[in-house]
Amino acid sequence: MTKVALTSLGCARNLVDSELMLGLLRQENMVVCDDANEADVIIVNTCGFIREAVEESIDAILQLCRLKENGRPKKVIAVGCLVERYKEELVRELPEVDAFVGVNRMSEIGQVIREVLSGRRPVRLNGQPYAHGSESRFALTPKHFRYAKICEGCNHGCTFCAIPAIKGRLRSRSPVSILSEVARLIREGAREIVLIGQDTAEYGLDRDEPGALPRLLRDLCRIEGDFWVRLLYSCPTHFSDDLIDVIAEEKKICRYVDLPVQHIDAGILKSMGRKESPEDIFRLIRRIRNAVPGVTFRTSVIVGFPGEGENEFQRLLDFLKETRFERLGAFEFSPEEGTRAAAMPGQAPEEVKSERFGRLMRLQQEISLENNRKLLGRRERIIVDEWSEQADYRCVGRTEGDAPEVDGCVYVKGDAAKPGEFAEVEFTGCLEYDLIGNEVHEPSQ
């Protein structure tokens, strides 16, 4: 019986693809194993979004190929975004890789494995774009939180981003498919469903269905069970009033808004190909904060974009000081091959990008610590993720304002809460990004 191991790199969207591939292989009676040294075949699901991710993916592929010298694994298969982005180059430059599979041909992984084990070197590229259905998945996350991909691809065309060239245009899954999958995940023990896509706020627009995302969220909340629904990656362009209303009204929807704005200077936003003006962004943030009391914002920004001088960067810092986002991801601009931004004049030196990144993150640490201090003495419901490795605490969890794997956590003292369960905690201490709390058993007033 064929044993298969898988290394999943990059984002949660890749993780869902990895789970789907492993689910398909298990249906074909292949054995999924954790140890590459025990596997007949190892799959590397690659990321090709930015230069650092490309380097990480190639390093992982080469490291696993070296293991073949000891007889296990026998074969290495590269799949995913890196393969799709650098098709011909990889096939030519990496003869030690036994097969290549692009993002639209992953459903053929079982046949690809049979071919490589028979001595062939298949290359599956340039397939018809599709959106995953709700096929059986092999969980790579703890069962209490699961990702559900509601759409694939993107219609934005930002000048700095290679994703449309890799993933194609927007394709939304049907509501029936998503609802069926989520209901199954809840029955299997999920207590948090994290909805993902390149831009989840675009959901349904390719089907000419405005308002599809708010309707989907309300339908998800009708599924029986005690669980959270978290929405990630919702760009400002299509963040509607109806969507704000759903977050404000539905108790199962986390009061958490992931709104990647990328910058606030009007000239930089225009160069980025973003459709929002600074005024649009400020108005949207105000509307959300007014409509959703206690909302947690997460955003992402890019420093060192071509044409960003000290004045433009200072506008970004002033914006962060004013909005005081609870969560923030910052990135140094990476001139990605094939993107319009890579050829723009005014490219910032690496040392300038690094210096600005450091200044921005120091500011955000101060903002985050100040935000956390305001929570001291408050009680909130958290989801418990795991037992704590620190003797002073029993377990580690997250508030509804913390997405798994990207945000902060809560270190909990108590004797009842277990991983995979909800618990009520009173916050007694904090760090820059994390909270400390005591579990409480009487209901909050």
**Residue 393 belongs to a domain with what CATH number?**
2.40.50.140
Which amino acid is present at 144? Answer: H
Distances in whole angstroms, Cα of residue 49 to Cα of each of 161, 414, 441: 8, 42, 45
Q: Note whether 193 and 309 are same-domain residues.
A: yes
Expressed as residue numbers, the domain containing 32 is 3-124
Mean pLDDT over each residue of the chain, to the nearest integer: 93
Tally of domains within the chain: 3
User: Is the pLDDT at 445 greater than 50, yes or no?
Assistant: no
Do 361 and 420 lie in one domain? The reply is no
Query: Which of the four pLDDT bands, split at 50, 70 and 90, describes residue 416?
Result: confident
Distances (CA, A) of 221 to 149, 249, 252, 259: 17, 11, 6, 22
The CATH code of the domain that includes 114 is 3.40.50.12160
The model's pLDDT over 96-149, given as tens digits with 9 standing for 90+, comes to 999 999 998 898 999 999 999 999 998 988 766 655 555 678 999 999 999 999
Which of 324, 352, 373 is the last residue before a domain boundary?
Answer: 373
401 shares a domain with 337: no
Q: Are residues 78 and 166 in the same domain?
A: no
Does the pLDDT value for residue 237 go beyond 50?
A: yes
pLDDT band at 389 (very low <50, low <70, confident <90, very high): confident
Residue with tokens 């339908």, as numbered in its chain: 219
My answer on whether 108 and 50 are in the same domain is yes
**C-alpha separations of 144 from 111, 177, 406, 424 in Å:** 32, 20, 17, 17
The pLDDT tens digits for 282-336 are 999 999 999 999 999 999 999 999 999 999 999 999 999 999 999 999 999 999 9
Mean pLDDT value across residues 28-55: 92
DSSP 183-230: HHHHHTT-SEEEEE-S-GGGTTGGGT-TTHHHHHHHHHHTSSSS-EEE
DSSP-based three-state secondary structure for 254: coil
Asked if 72 and 204 sit in the same domain, the reply is no
Mean pLDDT value across residues 430-436: 95
At residue 173 the predicted structure's pLDDT band, cuts being 50, 70 and 90, is very high
The pLDDT tens digits for 202-234 are: 999 999 988 999 999 999 999 999 999 999 999
Residue type at position 366: E
Q: Do 369 and 384 sit in the same domain of this protein?
A: no
Is the alpha carbon torsion for 164, 169, 175, 179 positive or negative?
Answer: negative
CATH number, residue 189: 3.80.30.20
Q: Is residue 249 part of a domain?
A: yes
Is the pTM higher than 0.85? The answer reads yes
Using an 8 Å Cβ cutoff, are 242 and 215 in contact? Answer: no
pLDDT of residue 55: 92
**Any bridge partners for residue 151, and if so which?**
172
Query: Do 186 and 79 reside in the same domain of the chain?
Result: no
**Last residue of one domain, picked from the residues 357, 373, 389:** 373
d(C-alpha 295, C-alpha 85), whole Å: 37
For 6-10, 164-168, 344-348, which range has the lowest pLDDT when averaged over its residues? 164-168
Q: Check: CB of residue 375 under 8 Å from CB of residue 388.
A: no
168: left (phi over 0), alpha (psi -120 to 50) or beta: left
Task: Give the tens place of pLDDT for each residue, 270-296.
Answer: 999 999 999 999 999 999 999 999 999
Of the residues 124, 159, 184, which one is the last residue of a structural domain?
A: 124
